[in-house]
Amino acid sequence: MHYLKIAGKEAPATFSAGALKELTENYGGMENLTKKMKVAAEGEMMDMFFEVAECLIRHGVAYVNLFCPDIIPDPEKYHCKEGKFMPLTYEQIYYGTSAVEFTDMAGAVMQIINGDQEKEIETKEIKKKESEG
């Protein structure tokens, strides 16, 4: 799991298949998103990073809350409420990211996307019993 630091606290973030689906629907594919980010005016590019961060955080929070219920987040370190991680809205990310932090956040977003796309999946061959042929 990756974490993005927003407003002094961390939020889990992941580039899941669901996040890929959402971003593909919103931007016409990941290749289009990357192209748009490269040619967009600075303000528009920043908006895209905030939108992508919001999506990655929403999926990271859902994953941790669904599949890691034994993890109780520390409210001093994480965005959480009543023992559960909380997703952040676009507005919270927008206002909670300083100009200095934006560069780090944007770099982390790209690392999450690129890193999660390159994950290797371990497969295992199951041998048939001799009687099964």
| Structural domain harbouring 95 | 2-118
Q: Average pLDDT for residues 81-95, to the nearest whole number? A: 96
Residue 97 carries which DSSP code? S
What digits encode the pLDDT tens for the residues 96-114? 999 999 999 999 999 999 8
Any domain includes 66: yes
What phi and psi values does residue 109 have, to the nearest 5 degrees? -60, -45
pLDDT given for residue 38 in this prediction = 85
Q: Which helix (H) or strand (E) holds 79?
A: none
Whether the pLDDT of residue 78 is over 90: the answer is yes
> Which residues share a beta bridge with 6?
9
Any domain includes 123: no
- Which residues are CB-neighbours of 81 under 8 A, at least 6 positions away? none
Angle made by CA atoms 16, 19, 22, in degrees to the nearest 5: 155
pTM value > 0.75? yes
Any domain includes 108: yes
Whether the pLDDT of residue 76 is over 60: the answer is yes
